[in-house]
Structure 1
Amino acid sequence: MNNVNSRLRRARKTRAKIAELKVTRLSVHRSNGHIYAQIIAETGDKVLASASTVEVEVRKDIKNGGNVAAAAVIGKRIAEKAKAAGITSVAFDRSGYKYHGRIKALADAARENGLSF
């Protein structure tokens, strides 16, 4: 089993538990160059808010989309968009990634800006 399959296996277990709880989830995906965050409805079929380092407004502020500072910007941005959509509480879906570095920076920034999980 390679690293990608191991990560996807971990992600599947987390998503199954979140689906069982029927709560809104904050899903995170990272690549070498960018980080993406989405708030997904309880049913899992609708994206309520999203933010990523690919967005034009974000690209103006950051130089590199694949670092901890960029992840913190995305965490703040997704929390603001969630508040605007009336969402205050979510389940954090780290997609099988370790809670470290960029994932932790995004989560901490989202919490600091009013999102609870």
Structure 2
Amino acid sequence: MSPMNDRKQRRQRMKRRYRGVVRGSSQRPRLTVFRSLRYLYAQVIDDDRGVTLAAASTLDKATAGDLKSTGNVAAGKRLGAVIAERVKGQGISSVVFDRGGFKYHGVIRAIADGAREAGLKF
């Protein structure tokens, strides 16, 4: 097995294990993040109804804006702020953070910090 597949499978196993612990509800939906090599994605999901309440990514012009890179810590902070504003517009102030099998470090932490600074509670 190649090292790339091994890393991906390890992250998928962690994601499944972590998803068993973290669950969103209508009162506290789940903020899930995904990191690719080039872009960052965030969704707020109500697991009770199985619907996505809000989504944002660094693919959006509104989120990326004038950033040089769409996958670094600065982009993560802005993505966190954008998703927080979209969710707060729907009257939600508290979420459960789902790191999706990624380490809580670097860009993933920047997304969480950006959302917290914008007023979202974890």
Q: Could you state the TM-score of these two structures normalised by the residue count of structure 2?
A: 0.88
Q: Which region of structure 1 is more displaced relative to structure 2, 70-79 or 2-11?
A: 2-11
Q: Which runs of 4+ in 1 moved over 4 A?
A: none
1:85 maps onto 2:90 in alignment: yes
The change in CA–CA distance for 1:61 and 1:7 in structure 2 (over 3 A counts) is same
Is 1:60 the counterpart of 2:57? The answer is: no
- How do 1:1-117 and structure 2 match up within 5 A? 2-19=6-23, 22=25, 23-43=28-48, 45-117=50-122
The structure with the larger Rg is 2
Query: Which 5+ residue runs of structure 1 have no aligned equivalent?
Result: none
How far does residue 43 in structure 1 lie from its aligned partner after superposition? 2.0
Query: Aligned-residue CA RMSD in angstroms?
Result: 1.6
5+ residue gaps, structure 2, are none
Structure 1 CA distance for aligned equivalents of residues 30 and 65 of structure 2: 28
Q: Deviations over 1:20-56 (max 9, x none)?
A: x744100000011110000001326211011110002
2: distance between equivalents of 1:3 and 1:72? 25
Q: For residues 59 and 18 of structure 1, what CA distance do their matches in structure 2 show?
A: 29
The structure richer in helix per residue is 1
- Over the matched positions of the two proteins, sequence identity in percent amounts to 45
